[in-house]
């Protein structure tokens, strides 16, 4: 197994705004990470399933429809229920500031708003996963 950081990027819910998610996928790949893009309209259950199947260190969730407060914590809950406590979960999208503390409480490590450079996302991931060796 290589020590590349493995990232799963997914868009839970019905939201179709995928520009940010796609750009992040490509940017992280260019920075040397292995990134699996699960795509649109996936359920929290499917995300957890893919997290196990793909054996990733990091899950990135994106949502711009306003449904994050039910979809993100639900995903966290299911990940925990499967015992996936070591997986780093980060999120992005249109997330009002006041929701961020609640998301962090639910276990989301970081929330990246619009305008975040890809470098910043990569640094957070690298630091928090300890470089990704697995």
Partner 1 sequence: MAEKKAEQGSERKPEFKTTVGGIPIKRVYGPADCAAADAAKDLAAPGEYPFTRNIMPSGYRGRLWTMRQYAGFATVEETNERFKYLYKNGQTGFSVAFHLPTQEGYDSDHPLSAGEVGKCGVAIDSLQDMERLWEGIPLGDVSTSMTINATAPVVLAMYIAAAEKQGVERKKLNGTVQNDILKEYIARNTYIFGPAPSMRLVTDICSFCAQELPQWNSISISGYHMREAGATAAQEAAFTLANGIAYVQAMIDRGMEVDSFAPRFSFFFAAYTNVLEEAAKYRALRRIWARVMKERFGAKNPRSMMLRYHVQTDGFALTAQQPLNNIVRVTLQALAAVLGGCQSLHTNSFDEALSLPSEQAVQVALRTQQIIAEESGCADVVDPLGGSYYVESLTGEIEKRVHAYLDEIDRMGGSLKAIEKGYIQQEIANSAYEYQKAVDAGEQVIVGVNKYTTEEPHGAELLHVGEELEAKQMERLRKLRAARDGQRVTQVLTKVRSVAQSSENIMPVMIEAVEAYATLGEISDALRQAFGEYRERNVV
Contact with partner 1 (CB under 8 A) among 84, 94, 100, 109: 94
Closest CA to 112 of 97, 98, 128: 97
Spell out the residues 6+ positions from residue 96 whose beta carbon is closer than 8 angstroms to its own.
none
Give me the 26-65 binding string for partner 1, x by CB under 8 A, dash otherwise.
xx---------x-xxx-x---------------------x
117 touches partner 1 by CB under 8 A: yes
Contact with partner 1 (CB under 8 A) among 1, 2, 19, 86: 19
CA 25-134-60 angle, to 5 degrees, is 25
92 touches partner 1 by CB under 8 A: no
Nearer to partner 1, 10 or 87 (CB): 10
70 touches partner 1 by CB under 8 A: yes
Cα–Cα distance list, 37 to 6, 12, 61, 64, 66 (Å): 11, 12, 10, 17, 21
Backbone angles phi, psi at 65, to 5 degrees: -95, -5
Provide the binding-site residues for partner 1, judged by CB under 8 A: 13-19, 22-23, 25-27, 37, 39-41, 43, 65-71, 74, 94, 96-98, 113-115, 117-119
């Amino acid at each position: 197994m290589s020590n590349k950081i493995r990232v799963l990027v997914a868009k839970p819910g019905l939201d179709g705004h995928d520009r940010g998610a796609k750009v992040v996928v490509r940017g992280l790949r260019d920075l040397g990470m292995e990134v699996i893009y699960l795509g649109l309209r996936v359920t929290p259950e499917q995300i957890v399933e893919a997290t196990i199947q793909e054996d990733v260190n990091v899950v990135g969730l994106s949502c711009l429809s306003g449904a994050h407060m039910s979809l993100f914590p639900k995903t966290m809950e299911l990940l925990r229920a499967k015992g996936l406590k070591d997986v780093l979960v980060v999120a992005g999208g249109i997330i009002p500031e006041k929701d961020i503390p609640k998301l962090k409480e639910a276990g989301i490590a970081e929330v990246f708003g619009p305008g975040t450079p890809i470098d910043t996302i990569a640094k957070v991931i690298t630091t928090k996963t300890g470089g990704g060796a697995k």
